[in-house]
Structure 1
Amino acid sequence: MSQSSQTSKSSYICRCGNPAVLKTSRTDRNLGRKFYSCAVGKDNGECSYFKWIFSDFEVSKFQGIVKFEMFERLRDSEENRDLLMTLYRESEHKIDHLKELLKDVEIERDQLKHKLAMAEEKKRA
């Protein structure tokens, strides 16, 4: 018989970086008790995270932590997006500036070509 059943997935990230999941024990000794453990699990040698849940309040508290972490990640991702957009806009301005400089250099090149052609013409005459 399986020792636990997964009752719901959470977006809580375990200390090893993998998701933690809410499970229900199916052992005779702890039948029906809820706990969180790493989704990867210690069977795979990755993580041994395990935490008994002693009450529904603790489950809701844990879910509140999950929501807080999700909002923190969302805020961080929005800040990162805003930063990336700022950097993108700055790079667009730099590209525009470099294009203007290139046009100036091309105009100067054309003027020098013209002067060179005029000088060569005078030299021949």
Structure 2
Amino acid sequence: MKSPIVLIWPEPGQRVVLVAETTHATPRCSCTQAGRTDSPEPMSLLDACLTAFSTAGDPAAMASADLVAGLRHLPGTAEGRWLYRDLTQQRLAHLLAPYRIHTRDTRLGNGRRLKAYHRADLAALGRR
């Protein structure tokens, strides 16, 4: 027997509806935003960041701008604060600061020296 669960929470200037159906098998979830159905949003900002690293080929470090670019295509909100598409480098830094995740001056493989997030820092947070 199916038991539909409907959760509604407001976003600035819009309404987001999450509909989940459960059966005795696997729960199914979809996110609807302004009449659009997308895949479910990442469980956490940490998961989203690690997914962006994975999509980029799992580099040891990613420039802040590159990580933000990798996150901006995701549906949903980052830590319930900003839509992923509205993230900036400063907003990402603000969201990761409570976890003590910060950029470091890093020389990337292409020789660029930039502020970068390190995958090991994010992975260590996941193990805590």
TM-score bucket (shorter structure):
under 0.3
Q: TM-score, normalised by structure 1?
A: 0.24
Of structures 1 and 2, the one with the larger relative CO (CA 8 A, separation 6+) is 2
Structure having the larger proportion of residues in helix: 1
Structure having the larger proportion of residues in strand: 2
Larger Rg: 1
Q: TM-score, normalised by structure 2?
A: 0.24
